Amino acid sequence: MIIDLPDTTVSKVARQLVSTREEGGAVALGRVLTLVIKSHRGFEEEAIEAANDASREHPMRVIVLVTDAEGDARLDAQIRVGSDAGASEVIVLQAYGDAASNESTLLTGLLLPDAPVVAWWPDEPPSQPGASALGRIAQRRITDTSTAPYSSDRLAKLEESYTPGDTDLAWTRLTNWREQLAAVLDQPPYEPVTAVSVRGASTSPSTALLAAWLGLALDLPVDWQYEDPAVWDHGIHSVRLTRPSGDILLERQTESLALLTQPGQPDHELHLPRRSLRECLAEELRRLDPDTLYGRVISDGWSRLTEPRESA
């Protein structure tokens, strides 16, 4: 069910939520958190779809805030419940003019009481998420350095502005890679890794984060390189770990399949697809405490990482 509330106020939206629950049987009981999505017009539906899918694992209230500083002061709202909202209830706020100037005021009356708040910027996050109006009311703050506006120094800026509770979906996309590499190193022979190399697309900040994590975890300098776009143009391409007995190579062959090569063992073809937005969001919502490993990688790991080598 979708309820449109044009030219309204936050208090009217809150009253309509109560009325909807009383009349239609929709309940807020069991909602474990409030997810606030700060997006731009035209990009919000993809984020809502991902949140609706993730809500089946994390029942929540989703508040989508779209602001436009132009025009007369006005607030339009929409409430989605039932089949239009997954296992959540979705409130879409579109604020114009002066009504868009104070984000925290728009949200305060709609947050679930005594429930944690997670803020997510699917695109164009603030330069300092933790210091922003929305970031100050959130326990967790999710950004994505792979989205617009993309620039080569965005990870460096994240290091400068990092606040405990920050995370980035470029890091979340590495979970399967990190698990696979850790599993390989947990098997015999238990030899030290003497060299590490990482390859990936120039548009993939996950490549740099993986290199920073490996350098931190193995206490080694990492040789990393952005591939020629004609060779590889999406995500991480390969990781090579050198040990005395030979090299371990995990190399993605296609967008979903990777080949694991190890000395003295048959090659293994692994299912290693790029993770969906829904999968990454659901993983981040499983923890509401600061991701301390990400904090170490974006600070200590990043500071020790050298510049990427030029592609051959």
Task: Look at 2-6, 39-43, 46-50, 100-104 and tell me which has the smallest mean pLDDT.
Answer: 39-43
Give 40-88 pLDDT, tens digit per residue.
777 789 999 999 999 988 889 999 999 988 889 999 999 998 877 776 7
Query: Helix or strand or coil: residue 174?
Result: coil
Query: Helix or strand or coil: residue 35?
Result: strand
pLDDT confidence of residue 268: 95
pLDDT confidence of residue 74: 95
**Hey, how many other C-beta atoms are within 10 angstroms of the C-beta on 1?**
12
Q: CA torsion sign, 74 to 80 to 86 to 88?
A: positive
pLDDT confidence of residue 118: 97
User: How far apart, in whole angstroms, are the C-alpha atoms of residue 201 and residue 145?
Assistant: 14
Measure Cα distances from 168 to 12, 121, 299 in Å: 34, 10, 13
104 φ/ψ sector (left φ>0, alpha ψ -120 to 50, else beta): alpha
User: How far apart, in whole angstroms, are the C-alpha atoms of residue 50 and residue 58?
Assistant: 12
Mean pLDDT over residues 151-158, rounded? 74
Give 162-207 pLDDT, tens digit per residue.
999 999 999 999 999 999 999 999 998 899 999 999 999 988 899 9
Measure Cα distances from 83 to 8, 53, 89, 134, 276 in Å: 24, 11, 10, 28, 21
User: How far apart, in whole angstroms, are the C-alpha atoms of residue 170 and residue 43?
Assistant: 18
Whether 245 and 262 have beta carbons less than 8 Å apart is answered as no
Is residue 223 predicted with pLDDT exceeding 70?
yes
Whether 96 and 74 have beta carbons less than 8 Å apart is answered as yes
pLDDT confidence of residue 197: 97
Top pLDDT among 311 and 76 is at 76
pLDDT confidence of residue 150: 60
Give 224-267 pLDDT, tens digit per residue.
999 888 888 888 999 999 999 999 999 999 989 999 999 999 99
Q: CA torsion sign, 184 to 186 to 192 to 198?
A: positive
Euclidean distance between the first and final Cα of the chain, in Å?
Answer: 55
Query: Helix or strand or coil: residue 4?
Result: strand
pLDDT confidence of residue 202: 85
User: How far apart, in whole angstroms, are the C-alpha atoms of residue 14 and residue 280?
Assistant: 30
Whether 214 and 184 have beta carbons less than 8 Å apart is answered as no
Mean pLDDT of the residues in the chain: 90
pLDDT confidence of residue 228: 86
Is residue 312 predicted with pLDDT exceeding 70?
no
Long-range contacts of 191-195 (CB under 8 A, 24+ apart): 191/243, 191/244, 191/245, 192/243, 192/244, 193/218, 193/220, 193/241, 193/242, 193/243, 194/220, 194/242, 194/243, 194/244, 195/220, 195/223, 195/240, 195/241, 195/242
pLDDT confidence of residue 209: 95
Is residue 275 predicted with pLDDT exceeding 70?
yes
pLDDT confidence of residue 43: 78
Mean pLDDT over residues 135-147, rounded? 93
pLDDT confidence of residue 25: 57
42 φ/ψ sector (left φ>0, alpha ψ -120 to 50, else beta): left
Q: Which residue matches tokens 């132009």?
A: 70
pLDDT confidence of residue 1: 86
Reported as half-sphere exposure (CB side, CA atoms, 13 A), residue 294 has a value of: 26
Q: Which residue matches tokens 């770990």?
A: 241
* Phi, psi torsion values for 239, nearest 5 degrees: -135, 130
> In the chain, what are the domain boundaries?
2-168, 175-271
